Chains A and B, each alone.
Chain A
Amino acid sequence: MRVVDQTLLFVGLLAAPAAGAAVSLLPRDGVEFIASLASSVAAVVISLFIFGSGATGAFGPFYSDGLSRIMAITISSVFFTSVAYSSFYVKRIKEPLVRFRWYYSLLDLFAFTMLMATTVDDLGFVWIAIEATTVTSALLVALERERTSVEAAWRYTLIVSAGLVSSLLSVIFVYFSQGTLLISDLTGRQMGAGLLMPLAVGFALVGYGTKAGIAPMHSWLPDAHSEAPSPVSAMFSGILLPTSIYALVRTFNLLQGSASFEAMKNLLIGFGIFTALLAAIIMGHQRNYKRMLAYSSMENMGIILVGFALGGIGAIGAAVQIVAHAFAKSSAFYGAGNILVAFESKSMAKVQGVAARLKFSGHLFALSCLAVTGAPPFGVFVGEFMIVSQAVSVGNLALALLLAVVYTYGFIGLNRQSVRMIFGQSNPGPESGGEPSGPAPGTLPSSENWVSVAIPFANLVVALVIGVYMSPLLLQAAQWLGH
């Protein structure tokens, strides 16, 4: 494909959500949903074209390789499903912080900033776009206008902003060291033995790592994920965290072939495995099911970081896990949204016997939990398997063992809780002396409809297809790795 065509595709990819954001603000009822849905469909179609073109290199102000193409299609897809699911979820919010037209507009801008971060050819613009994701998503976290959601929004914005300022230092150091910020110029360049580039990676780890939920900078993550509306939680977990990992990996990969590469690789592996272990341990002891899913996202990001740092087949596994996790986790959050609408509680103690009341959503939620914790044959399993295989093949058996512990502990911790919640005995009502578990059967608000079931189902199917048939993705990722 000619350079100008490829550039136009990227322009279209960014123009779609930008136009959706502008049209959503028109003062006409219903236009906001239609505009956002149309823009998200356009983004999916364009990202499919970009994915199919397979072009690598700089195209005007954009940069395209296997990783950026995978990110673009993942972001567009989860953006589309979140907009569609919003039509079911947000009208049930009684007293929203902002009008719905602003909600949809901000959702579009949120997607725009993530797409920009993963497609531009300039590390400075990558930083600007990631910083802008905070601006566009802060209000979305507080949409439900509850004490906890407003508190979560404040914590999210302050902690993430303070962290991201560190990654600006990383950008400054890269420029001071190399005299350019263009990814296409920097890729493959010999970095020498100075201290500046390792420092840049270190500051990127602190800054982008904060946004990706890497421990110990993760304290905002469980709060924001659990308090945001479910479609927003799905976007946070499925695509925002990987977008930050993308920026970190871009900076880290500049060190390839330099003297400090091994040291920084071990640093990233250390932070990644620590994050995954911590999240796997905490996850099984949560009392709030959305918070439990948030820790599962943290666990996945830790594993993905380990995969990218290991390189080789581990990096391909990390790319596969990014896509599979995005679809599976968004399915889990949509399922959690259905449960929240029906039971009006996020407490697992009050939400028992879900499958008896929400037949489809209950089963979908349980399956999604299996998918995100790496149950075969879902895509997350394939990604995790490839990462542990790379650890074994490079002879790092201690890391392979730690990964196995994380997989096992996380799998048992999350699924034990979700099975109890979905298939456990419903609590008896207050008349029989027990704690009520949400509204009585037959008096539920409309808690399932075809939209609320079809969207998580479709995402779960994609997560499954990635696991069973993943050759195109493998090829794309391998191209990015230069094999």
Chain B
Amino acid sequence: MILSALYLQSQTFVDPTIRAAAAQSLILAALFVVLFLQSGAADLLYLAAITAGIRGVLIPVVMLYQVRRFKHSLRESGTGQRVPSLVIVGVILVIAGYALFKTALLPTLSNPSVSVPFVLVLLSFLLIVTRRNALTQMTGFLEEENAVLYAGALIAPSIPLLIEFAVVLDILGVVLVGVILSATRDVLRTLESPELEQLTG
């Protein structure tokens, strides 16, 4: 999971970023199946199906369709020089995040596996904040959603509404990529945020 997040961070082209986010969702779906086999909680199996179907396939397919509408391979402007340093920042964040988790959260949560989604949340914020392309920012949102649902399944697998949480987040994801992003592309003719700077003050 963390390697896939660092791979997302290292890409300058949009297509592989989307594919990496899809792969991460499929890995998470597999982890949910493993957790189901351990605990027997049927909710985890439904969660695996939703994760694989919506975040692993549907949303990435719609996003790749958005990329193809531009009729060329999309590369984020200005990422060439920034990406290597962002990967280094990402690695530092992984180490710092783990250290913070071990000192502050582990004594309370007493489950070291939660460090993985904790670090993933930090990496997803880094991706959203540092990237300019709306599609890449969207992969950051998918990564954050993966991380929080993973945390939920690890911390409190019996929590009610976990499936509902996932469904609402996925509906939001579909609205983001399917509707808002389409409108952005149609009206602004770009998905790069330097063009999205009309609003100031």
Contact = CB atoms under 8 A, between A and B. Distances in A.
B141 A196 contact: no
A181 B124 CA distance: 27
Interface string B149-169: 001100110011100110011
Contacts of A139: 175, 179-180
Contacts of A181: 159-161
Given A154-B134, A194-B108, A131 B169 contact: yes
Contacts of B144: 162, 165
A226 B199 CA distance: 10
Contacts of A253: none
Interface residues of B, number: 43
A157 B198 contact: no
Interface in A143-174: 145-148, 150-155, 157-158, 161-162, 165-166, 168-169, 171-173
Contacts of B180: 138-139, 142, 150, 153-154, 157
B67 to A, nearest CB: 17
B201 A157 contact: no
Contacts of B171: 132, 135
Interface string B4-45: 000000000000000000000000000000000000000000
Contact of A168 (B104, B109, B165, B175): B165
Given A162-B125, A169-B151, A128 B176 contact: no
Residue of A146, A150, A155, A282 contacting most chain B CB atoms (<10 Å):
A150
A231 to B, nearest CB: 20
A242 B156 CA distance: 29
A157 B176 contact: yes
Contact of B198 (A125, A128, A132, A148): A148
B172 A135 contact: yes
Contacts of B108: 194-196, 199
Interface in B82-103: none
Contact of B184 (A127, A150, A176, A222): A150
Interface in A278-321: 282, 285-288, 291
B2 interface: no
Nearest to A224: B199
Interface in B113-140: 121, 124-125, 128, 134, 137-138, 140
Residue of A146, A147, A152, A194 contacting most chain B CB atoms (<10 Å):
A147
A265 B125 CA distance: 26
B196 interface: yes
Given A138-B175, A223-B199, A172 B159 contact: yes
Interface string A245-282: 00000000000000000000000000000000000001
B161 A147 contact: no
B168 A142 contact: no
Given A147-B188, A150-B184, A168 B198 contact: no
B145 interface: yes
A157 B140 contact: no
B8 to A, nearest CB: 15
A150 B183 contact: yes
Contact of B161 (A125, A135, A138, A157): A125
Contact of A147 (B104, B105, B175, B198): B198
Contact of B175 (A127, A135, A166): A135
B199 A168 contact: no
A194 B109 CA distance: 10
B161 A286 contact: no
A124 B181 contact: no
Contacts of A124: 159-161, 164-165
Interface string A91-133: 0000001000000000000000000000000101101100110
B187 interface: yes
Contacts of B168: 128, 131-132, 135
Contacts of A142: 180, 183
Given A150-B187, A151-B196, A165 B145 contact: yes
A459 interface: no
Contact of B183 (A97, A158, A226): A97
B57 interface: no
B96 to A, nearest CB: 18
25 contacts: A122-B161, A125-B161, A128-B164, A135-B171, A135-B172, A139-B180, A145-B187, A150-B188, A151-B199, A152-B199, A153-B180, A154-B184, A154-B196, A158-B128, A158-B134, A161-B141, A162-B144, A169-B151, A171-B165, A172-B159, A194-B108, A195-B105, A222-B199, A223-B199, A288-B201
Given A134-B172, A147-B198, A151-B199, 13 more contacts: A122-B161, A139-B180, A155-B196, A158-B137, A158-B176, A165-B141, A165-B145, A168-B152, A172-B159, A175-B159, A222-B199, A285-B201, A288-B201
Closest 6 CB pairs of A and B: A124-B161, A176-B156, A195-B108, A148-B198, A151-B196, A150-B187
Interface of B: 104-105, 107-109, 121, 124-125, 128, 134, 137-138, 140-141, 144-145, 148, 151-152, 155-156, 159-161, 164-165, 168-169, 171-172, 175-176, 179-181, 183-184, 187-188, 196, 198-199, 201
